[in-house]
Structure 1
Amino acid sequence: MKVALFGTKPYDEQFFTEANENYNHELLFLEPHLSEKTAILAQDATAVCVFVNDEVSGDTLKILAEQGVKLIALRCAGYNNVDLETAKELGIKIVRVPAYSPHAVAEHAIALILTLNRKIHRAFYRVREGNFALNGLLGFDLYGRTVGIIGTGNIGYITGQILSGFGCKVLAYDPYPNESFSNFGEYVSLDELYARSDIISLHCPLTEENRHLINETSITKMKPGVMLINTSRGGLIDTKAVITGLKSKTIGYLALDVYEKESDLFFEDLSNEVIEDDVFQRLLTFPNVIITGHQAFFTEEALTNIANTTLSNITEIETTNTCKNLVQ
């Protein structure tokens, strides 16, 4: 099958080319993100492969369908950027990678917690400048602290498991509880999680129901000085409300690997550009904020699994017209 991969970087080409030795698809690597304007680049491809910030809108899907595209293969777990209703009307199948390396994302969330708490990012630059003063670098013991995990799928489960190893009290909220989570954690209501947690980490998919889950109202229910971590989807957080929370010190620490308007920023080198997103720029002014550019998934194991699962999904659709990772 001819597959047009949009929004690709050199590492995508490397891992997909290596994995394709076992599948023999015809791969076309395209640097631009998929959108209504770039959909024409799919040419005569039967399948299109997209990532988190590609725009798979109804209009984009119609252009792809006119070119003969029958399959959208997501090389990620989430599919909030896909117009599923239009895809169904056009007869375009959607497949995804439900789990590529939950350990990669969970470990990145832990890294953000430790870095924020012990001010590793600030200490690094101080020492390089010959400043060995400890003022302003005070942290706290994770042992005995209460952590709230929102979303207990594979990533949330592993994050909670790791934090329990630190000696944390682990709380969780998920409308679909995982029975195994009770081995080290406790399910509570969302309001109770907000009220009791010293650290809150988000690990849920983005839906219309939970968009801006963290908003002005939910922030007022949190403990003063709470640490907020998001390695899931940017749209879960109302960024302006979080900025207000940082200014009032209700939020004492913030780490983001995702941002609700990241599609114009992340995965690109903008070091020589003026970033015009004033909300994002405001976040960067806080000393208690860390932002990474959607890199939580970025490990060798994850990229290998993403490439293999994506190509396996395409092969399953090609040979059987169905797939275990079919969205619809």
Structure 2
Amino acid sequence: MAERWLLIETFGGEGHEEPTVIGVGSSPKGMVPLKSVLGRGRYLDDVRALVARVVASEQPTETTSADGRRRMIGLPLVTFAGRVHGVYAWLGGLDEQPPPRDPAGAWYFNLTTDKIGGSDDLLDLYGVAPEDRRTQRATAEAFGRLVTNADESAALATIVRSKPGSEHQATWTVRRDDGELRAANFACRAVEEITAEGRREVVLRGITHDIGPAEATPSAPPPRPVVLAQQVLAAAREPGKHRAVVNLRNLTLLRWLDDPMPGVAWELDVERPPGLHPDDLAVAKELSQGLATSGRVESVLRLRSTTGDWMPVHVVANLMLLDQHTTAALVTLSNPATRTD
């Protein structure tokens, strides 16, 4: 193995007990087995043991190979929730120093609770100031730093499907908080977790790997034309209207396509959590079901406002395809008092 850092995922999940490689140096890898990178040589078991030690201890680990000839270093990528999502591993000569490694950070999307979390490593990668750091956010907040690319539909479909075992990996452009554009490889897998109360939840465990300046790093080749991009172009932005993608399974916001609608609470806030008025929930479910037959529905619904009150919003929803098997709603929100249609 060349003396470059290996980025190894430890997402786990049923049938995925063996960690895989998602990066060698600055080159993303498609969740390939360790033996595909290391071969079946003498150090394969050493690296496996190193990864296991780092995951168990959740601490940086330095050791030597079983034959005493190689220096080994393992660094964990740990979420704020305390789970190791990956390990940076290096194997070199006893007197060698490891090369610089690319920034990488761990994160998770809880697809059941609509909450996400990251790690300090991830927030360092994004250039987030200490005073702006939070350990949990709402799912829709994750897309604020991502520059839309042709892979967006697949990423959103992975969130909507919420099926344990689903995997996704792609290179996106990230806009750091200081404005710098970076190329970042995202790798994730959906797994089932059981809470202390016995509740089953589906969680998307992931790692973001900074692989260089966006302008100098070739992006992932685009897939066939995506329906999301076509629908957005067909529904050009209008003043006073704000478009969003909504998960039809649980009526939660996936992402804003325009600037968020002023006054609507959509970021995670314990005192003013995003939500729909309880008396309007049945109406919203009827609208969701109606999309399957009509393709377009509209109504006025009361959404939580940033002051904690309920804010009437005119909603127009169109059915949209994220991929051949996954649908969502393209929702346009506006103030009922300023409607002109």
TM-score, L = length of structure 2: 0.26
Greater per-residue helix proportion: 1
Higher relative contact order (CA 8 A, sep 6+): 1
TM-score, L = length of structure 1: 0.27
